[in-house]
A and B are shown apart, each in its own frame.
Chain A
Amino acid sequence: MVRLIVWCAVIGLCVMQPARAVLNIEITQGVDEATPIAVVPFGNSGMATLPVDLAEIISADLQRSGRFSPLPRRDFLARPSEGRQVRFKDWRVLNAENLVIGKITRSGNGYTIQFQLFDVFRGVQLVGYNIPADGRVLPVSGLRRAAHQIADIIYEALTGERGVFATRIAYVTAVEGLSGALKYSLMVADADGYGSRAVLNSKQPLLSPSWSPNGKWLAYASFEKRRPKLFIQEIVSGRREMLTSFPGLNGAPSWSPNGRKLAMVLSKDGNPEIYLYDRSRKKLRRLTHHLGIDTEPVWAPDGRSIVFTSDRGGQPQLYRISVNGGDAQRLTFEGKYNAKASFSPDGKLLAMVHGANGKYYIALLELETGILRVLTDGALDESPSFAPNGSMIIYATRGRRSGVLAAVSVDGRVKQRLSLPEGDAREPAWSPFKR
């Protein structure tokens, strides 16, 4: 297997962006057969400068997936921005399999974008879109997102799988302040690491962010007055609601697929147990009854069962229980430590922290066969979270100096690393698709 160290893109082109809020994304391993694609700088219909380099964002997205290899602009023989200007032989000589062209037009107090994707060798258009489609215009602040949506359309047209470039990630940072004490922040960034912003800052630990299925809220655990409490917070408004503040543990919140309930761990009855909280009825129901540690519940995508971590067998392993209760069924048998499950969107795979030989990796369990595959090679990997299309898993790992985020494709072939300039980044949670 040939490992490609492809490139290192610094996402941080906007001068408005404070340096500390920038995540660097680096592809540490790509696939050999990445598809060569040419993304031509978009035409700008008479504007002196483009407000955003759409082609650059699209190229970076496609590159980051590990499945595409965008060609360098300097090799381009032409820069068409409309279909009639395209001469396919200009692109065949570069061995580009696909070509993306487009233009951005100033329109009223906003912009409209048109783009086309071509199959170079067959000489045909695969897709073409006007954005927005409904005749409205995009504000300048909507252009990056539009570029990610274009990348999603291209990705889906060429791979048959829905793209995740227009999604976001939540994560927690711990940065040492001037006094030496750690400052914690709950952050949300675009999936390319751009536009990271704090939704909550605290002097006490923050952990376990979990997205609501509509992508508008985050649930998390926060130590306030030196006690853990569970909150949900609307991201745009910052409106916060405290869910639980019981004596003992209040942790590991996980939203049900329909958004009506949250699973969580509480130890108010003397021992860590899994509970389900019904938001509209404001009712709490205890799901597990065991003297061991039961924690880290996650919902199966069909909403019928919960997978959780328990040491009832002597060491932490994953178990499954019906949301109606009953007996828990053990799922993992390989290795002395399997914890913190994340379901693939189709419910067929579980990513987890897998401890073996004193090291902690991200591993994948195929539920039907029981086959466990180790995906990563870090020594302290943790907190796996599936991308909403099931293609990648984001997780936390240890960099040379600090905790960093990394992502690995489900087949293990593509690897990326996301690092902050300072401090630890941890506990990533990949958002659902925008609805």
Chain B
Amino acid sequence: MNTYVRLFIVVIPVLLMLGCGTTGSAIKGDDTAGSSAPAEESGAASSVAAPDDSGFSGNALSDGSSAPAAFSGDPLDDPSSLLSKRVIYFDYDRSSVKPQYRAVIEAHAAYMADHPAARVTLEGHADERGSREYNMALGERRAQAVRRLLALQGASAVQLDVVSFGEERPAVMGHNEMSWERNRRVELVYAGR
């Protein structure tokens, strides 16, 4: 098999690890310094918006477009733009995109069509309930659902990448319905931002 890659890394013999449980990371080399920065820092500053706040109707859209036209620069940086919304929330064990997010996705698709160099990673997540690998698959399916809509509305396939973190990277640490609904999400992460 061509794609088969072997990678041998000799870790410090496990006996030496007694007494130093936090050191001796075998994969330090792979793990770039910035990689521990959660997605929230890298372009989804508005991800704190609760799922219910983001019920964008036509109303919200016209609010955005009639805002003072003073904003100059990349529309991605305009806090009043729909592009500032970069988290899509989902129902439990569901991967269908709810109607209130169509406008946000449309705005991002239009931006990507206008900016062919833009690259977006769609990070799928699930809440903590149930089994971890099933949640990994569920997170991927959610991200794929967003990807399909973006592509339908003008983003090109090369601009879109999908990765699922399942329940492994919760946005909120709690163990109740309020936390869970914020964790069932897809984050749009623009490269280099």
Interface 9-residue window, one of A41-49, A67-75, A197-205: A197-205
Within 8 A of A (CB), among B140-157: 140-141
Nearest A-chain residue to B177, judged by Cβ = A358
Nearest B-chain residue to A21, judged by Cβ = B21
A16 within 8 A of B: yes
Query: Could you tell me the distance in whole angstroms from the C-beta of B45 to the nearest C-beta in chain A?
Result: 17
Whether B130 pairs with A202 at a CB distance below 8 angstroms is no
Residues of A within 8 Å of B79, CB to CB, are none
Query: Could you tell me the distance in whole angstroms from the C-beta of B91 to the nearest C-beta in chain A?
Result: 13
Known A200-B11, A237-B13, A315-B93; contact A246-B163, beta-carbon cutoff 8 A: no
From B35, B133, B168, give the contact of A340 (CB < 8 A). B133
Question: Which one of A181, A282, A382, A398 has the highest number of Cβ atoms from chain B below 10 Å of its Cβ?
Answer: A382
From A16, A222, A295, give the contact of B27 (CB < 8 A). A222
B25 within 8 A of A: yes
Query: Could you tell me the distance in whole angstroms from the C-beta of A199 to the nearest C-beta in chain B?
Result: 6
Interface 9-residue window, one of A94-102, A248-256, A320-328: A248-256
Contact with B along A257-279 (1 / 0, CB 8 A): 00000000101000010000000
Known A241-B8, A242-B7, A293-B138; contact A203-B14, beta-carbon cutoff 8 A: no
Whether A360 pairs with B1 at a CB distance below 8 angstroms is no
Query: Could you tell me the distance in whole angstroms from the C-beta of A392 to the nearest C-beta in chain B?
Result: 20
- Complex formed: what's the CA distance from A294 to B13 in Å? 37
Whether B10 pairs with A208 at a CB distance below 8 angstroms is no
Whether A340 pairs with B14 at a CB distance below 8 angstroms is no
Nearest A-chain residue to B133, judged by Cβ = A252
Known A227-B163, A296-B133; contact A239-B31, beta-carbon cutoff 8 A: no
Nearest B-chain residue to A250, judged by Cβ = B136
Whether A296 pairs with B134 at a CB distance below 8 angstroms is yes
Residues of B within 8 Å of A293, CB to CB, are 134, 137-138, 141
- Complex formed: what's the CA distance from A270 to B19 in Å? 44
Known A181-B36, A237-B13, A315-B93; contact A295-B8, beta-carbon cutoff 8 A: no
Within 8 A of A (CB), among B55-103: 93
A283 within 8 A of B: yes
Whether A238 pairs with B9 at a CB distance below 8 angstroms is yes
Whether B35 pairs with A204 at a CB distance below 8 angstroms is yes
Query: Could you tell me the distance in whole angstroms from the C-beta of B13 to the nearest C-beta in chain A?
Result: 7
From A179, A231, A239, A382, give the contact of B132 (CB < 8 A). A382
Query: Could you tell me the distance in whole angstroms from the C-beta of A37 to the nearest C-beta in chain B?
Result: 32
Nearest B-chain residue to A206, judged by Cβ = B168
Whether B131 pairs with A353 at a CB distance below 8 angstroms is yes
A214 within 8 A of B: no
Residues of A within 8 Å of B24, CB to CB, are 198, 201
B26 within 8 A of A: yes
B115 within 8 A of A: no
A337 within 8 A of B: yes
Interface residues on B, range: 35 or more
Whether B30 pairs with A339 at a CB distance below 8 angstroms is no
Whether A240 pairs with B8 at a CB distance below 8 angstroms is yes
- Complex formed: what's the CA distance from A340 to B167 in Å? 15
Nearest B-chain residue to A297, judged by Cβ = B133
Whether A226 pairs with B134 at a CB distance below 8 angstroms is no
Query: Could you tell me the distance in whole angstroms from the C-beta of A264 to the nearest C-beta in chain B?
Result: 10
Nearest A-chain residue to B11, judged by Cβ = A238
A383 within 8 A of B: yes
Known A201-B25, A224-B30; contact A267-B140, beta-carbon cutoff 8 A: yes
A60 within 8 A of B: no
Known A227-B163, A249-B136, A293-B137; contact A204-B31, beta-carbon cutoff 8 A: yes
Whether A339 pairs with B134 at a CB distance below 8 angstroms is yes
Contact with B along A369-406 (1 / 0, CB 8 A): 00000000000101100000000000000100000000
Contact with B along A200-225 (1 / 0, CB 8 A): 11111101100000000000001111
B175 within 8 A of A: yes
Contact with B along A394-422 (1 / 0, CB 8 A): 00001000000000000000000000000
- Complex formed: what's the CA distance from A200 to B32 in Å? 16
Known A251-B136, A340-B131; contact A202-B31, beta-carbon cutoff 8 A: yes
Nearest A-chain residue to B95, judged by Cβ = A293
Residues of B within 8 Å of A205, CB to CB, are 165-166, 168-169
- Complex formed: what's the CA distance from A19 to B138 in Å? 37
Whether B7 pairs with A248 at a CB distance below 8 angstroms is no
From B9, B22, B134, give the contact of A201 (CB < 8 A). B22
Within 8 A of A (CB), among B1-60: 1, 3-15, 17-27, 30-32, 35-38
Residues of A within 8 Å of B23, CB to CB, are 201
- Complex formed: what's the CA distance from A235 to B15 in Å? 11
Q: Beyond the given A181-B36, A201-B22, A383-B132, could you list 6 further A-B residue pairs with CB under 8 A, ordered by the A residue number? A: A197-B15, A198-B21, A200-B11, A202-B27, A240-B7, A249-B137
13 pairs across A/B with beta carbons < 8 Å?
Answer: A199-B11, A202-B31, A203-B36, A208-B132, A225-B31, A225-B32, A237-B10, A241-B6, A241-B7, A293-B137, A316-B130, A355-B130, A360-B129
In the A-B complex, the 8 residue pairs with the smallest Cβ-Cβ separation, listed nearest first, are: A238-B11, A340-B131, A205-B168, A201-B25, A252-B133, A293-B137, A339-B131, A242-B7
